[in-house]
Amino acid sequence: MDATKLHVQPLQLGRSGRPGELAVPEGACGVVLFAHGSGSSRLSPRNRRVAERLRAEGLATLLFDLLDEHEARDRALVFDIPFLGRRVVEAIDAVKAMPAHAARPLGIFGASTGAGAALWAAAECPGDVAAVVSRGGRPDLAAPRLAEVRAPTLLIVGSRDPEVLRVNRVALTALRAPARLEVVEGATHLFEEPGTLERAADLAAWWLARHLCAARPQAA
């Protein structure tokens, strides 16, 4: 994908105008929303590196803040998965309301607690979400809704993140949609080890392109 043909559009979401950034490569076959983890934001360097990899695969990316500055200081909201899930739904609605993107398949990439919010939103919007990826995620936080998720879901966990690996294995059995667990060898929770984030990004790009680009309506 030609990086010089990238259209970047700033967005304001919700009543408080939470900032977001929609980056669309030429000929994008889908849009991927990023739900970041607790204590993070749309400026997360890890998510931005993954977003760059997805755009190289022909996918548009929307990075946005789940909470405004005031809300982010409330630790209860940081871990309120139904609340955060509704914020992801707001972003889905915002993209679907854009004429240029309304017909494009949507995916969600969630990290840490953001993965719980991503899966909650996927359960809320079964007809709008074509795929979900969780990186180092906490799908267990969305346990009451996992059986309602219809989107194919990829769970990516580091081999050196034993507790998160355990809860992802349990979540895999609760999901009724097509689902897969990929373990990145040598990675801890934040995928800081050399090459591990790149491996996770490659897996995410493969899964999302497989499901979103295949779902793209064919020209008449």
pLDDT values of the chain reduced to their tens digit, one per residue, 220 residues? 454 589 999 999 988 789 999 999 999 999 999 998 776 778 888 899 999 999 999 999 999 999 888 888 888 888 899 999 999 999 999 999 999 999 999 999 999 999 999 999 999 999 999 999 999 999 999 999 999 999 999 999 999 999 999 999 999 999 999 999 999 999 999 999 999 999 999 999 999 999 999 765 443 2
Distance of CA 188 to CAs 24, 34, 42, 103, Å? 31, 20, 22, 37
Show the domain range for 37: 3-215
Q: Considering only CA atoms, which of 184, 183, 122 is closest in space to residue 153?
A: 122
Number of alpha carbons in the 13 Å side-chain half-sphere of residue 117: 30
Alpha-carbon span 4 to 171, nearest angstrom = 40
In-domain check, residue 121: yes
Question: Alpha-carbon distance 83 to 46, whole Å?
Answer: 23
**Residue of 85, 46, 39 lying closest to 63 (CA atoms):** 46
Domain for residue 50, yes or no? Answer: yes
Residue 94 in any domain: the answer is: yes
Among 196, 166, 198, smallest CA distance to 181 is for: 166
| Domain total in the chain | 1
pLDDT reported for residue 193: 97
The pTM for the full model equals 0.93
In a domain, residue 220? The reply is no
The CATH number covering residue 202 comes to 3.40.50.1820
Give the model's pLDDT for residue 55: 97
